Amino acid sequence: MSAPTTGWLAVLNILAGTTDLGELAAANAYAGTHDLGVLAALNAKAGTTNLGIDAVCNHIAGTTGLSALNALNQKAGL
């Protein structure tokens, strides 16, 4: 059984240090970008390009082999 995770909306707001932003706005706030999709914003945050969602989230979190959401939850200390 895997550990429970916080959903995308909450974890992106936690990482961005924001509350009540939508997923796109929170991802852009976290990455310091504007008007990017979630994947593009996370790639910008990671300093990478064209990584898939699992790969970029593991890169950001310093983890390997986790699902994207689990990696970000770990990064957020959840």
- 38/53 Cα distance (integer angstroms): 9
Q: Using 50, 70 and 90 to split pLDDT, how confident is the model at 4?
A: low
Instruction: Give the residue among 66, 67, 61, 63 at the shortest CA–CA distance from 30.
Output: 61
pLDDT, one tens digit per residue, over 43-52 is 999 999 999 9
What was the pLDDT predicted at 6?
78
Question: Could you give the angle at which helices 38-46 and 53-61 cross, rounded to 10 degrees?
Answer: 40
pTM to 2 decimal places: 0.90
pLDDT, one tens digit per residue, over 27-44 is 999 999 999 999 999 999
What was the pLDDT predicted at 1?
35
